[in-house]
A and B are shown apart, each in its own frame.
Chain A
Amino acid sequence: MLSGAEWAVIALSLRVSLVAMLVTLPPAYALAWLIARRRFPGRMLLDAAIHLPLVLPPVVTGWLLLIVLGRNGPVGGWLESNFGITLVFNWLGAAVAAAVMALPLMVRAMRLSIEAVDRRLVGAARTLGATPLKAFLTITLPLSLPGIAAGAMLGFARSLGEFGATITFAANIEGQTRTLPLAIYTGLQVPGSESAVTRLAVISIVLSLGALLASEWLVRRSQGSRAHVL
């Protein structure tokens, strides 16, 4: 039903999205916590900067990545000369582009769930002898788990659909950076590949739906034991 090349596109898409989501998870949660719980100068600016990829044209985000992380960019050049890592034109670059685009959605979902955790519970934990770290690990973190699951799903789905920043920053190279949306776009340029485009589009829908259902299931399971007795 699917050609080997199409399977390769799916595998690449899943790898890029999974890596982007997993790598973004810890910093996204840290940023969400910082914005939800701390008051510091520059907080609004940080919040705005995190949201920038959400409102900027993705092509602009890709171009900015190219300037910063490209071979001649300050960070990209440093990575290449010190670690031999290049991000442009390979799957790592596609993952970086997807991660940057997914970050605002992940931070948003997690921030809301952290804000929903009653701070008075943290105070209660402190009076019972918990250090700030212990109170965070035993109260804030477990109670914001549904938001972490929701954020991870949103990030994964957003990464699966990432197009503009990826094609600008990582380019459209078969087997390297040609993820599902890029493959569909490429198919549309070639006459006679309508059926291949249809197959890839259906797979996109199935994967996105799967991510949604999986996160819903995770959220239910994390609350399940409690919901059960209620």
Chain B
Amino acid sequence: MSFDVDLELTLGDQRIAIAFASDAKLAALVGPSGAGKTSVLNAISGLLKPSSGRVAVAGNMLFDSAAKLDVPPDQRRAGYVFQDARLFPHRRVSANLAYGEKLARPAEVWITRGEVCDLLEIGALLDRWPATLSGGETRRVAIARALLAAPKFLLLDEPLSSLDPARAERLAALIERIRDELAIPILLVSHSASEVERLADQVVTMPSPSERPIDS
């Protein structure tokens, strides 16, 4: 199983319950905005603690409330590409890339900086500050930074949103290459039907959130 998720999240007075298992190379998580797609990615990456359930990715159990297992985010090895990129503003592009690269165990690295720069065409951006990058460049650097941390799986949150069609097309082709050439499971969050149809081998639909029953 690449992703085996069965969890319950409490966000304010909303409750999100989702269960899915996927063996696809690239699974897409779809649903209306506000359904909690990003929260599910946060839970899988360890940034958000589910109220109950379990999360296993690529055969590794990451969270299991019954067994009181909660692997901290830095040991989960998620390559999380945030919708808002979250590049570190006080570090140049090269230092952003080096951040996860230096923390990765050498034995687990499966892609070099040169390969990543070629794949994502960011070799010319290395000396730039994040604030000077365009939207598409920021997105590509964020993907590169995630890949260089030697992740065991990728979480892509709306990677093509708010890009012009030409750039979105190039990035989609790139995600296809990552999907086909790199052997790590990918979970993609998207609200674009065409994007999902093109990239995903399997589609998971978010259930609509339910109001949390009032404690009596």
Contacts and interface: CB of A to CB of B under 8 A. Distances in A.
Interface of A: 118, 120-121, 123-131, 134, 138-139, 142-143, 226, 229-230
Given A127-B146, A128-B103, 10 more contacts: A123-B86, A124-B86, A125-B88, A126-B73, A127-B80, A128-B74, A129-B100, A129-B149, A143-B90, A229-B132
Contact of B131 (A131, A138, A139, A230): A230
B82 A120 contact: yes
B145 A127 contact: no
B53 to A, nearest CB: 20
A121 B46 contact: no
B79 to A, nearest CB: 8
Nearest to B148: A128
Nearest to A228: B129
B180 interface: no
Interface in B153-202: none
Contacts of B84: 120
B80 A226 contact: no
Report the contact-size class of chain B (Cβ under 8 Å from the partner).
Answer: 20 to 34
A85 to B, nearest CB: 41
A53 to B, nearest CB: 33
Of A129, A142, A143, most buried by chain B (CB within 10 Å of CB) is A129
Given A120-B84, A121-B86, A121-B88, A127 B129 contact: no
A118 B90 CA distance: 12
Contacts of A123: 42, 47, 73, 86
A129 B86 contact: no
A226 B82 contact: no
Given A127-B46, A127-B73, A127-B78, A226 B131 contact: yes
Contact of A126 (B46, B131, B146): B46
A120 B89 CA distance: 12
A143 B103 CA distance: 20
A143 to B, nearest CB: 6
Contacts of A230: 129, 131-132
Contact of A129 (B82, B103, B128, B129): B103
A124 B149 contact: no
Contacts of B99: 125, 128, 130, 138
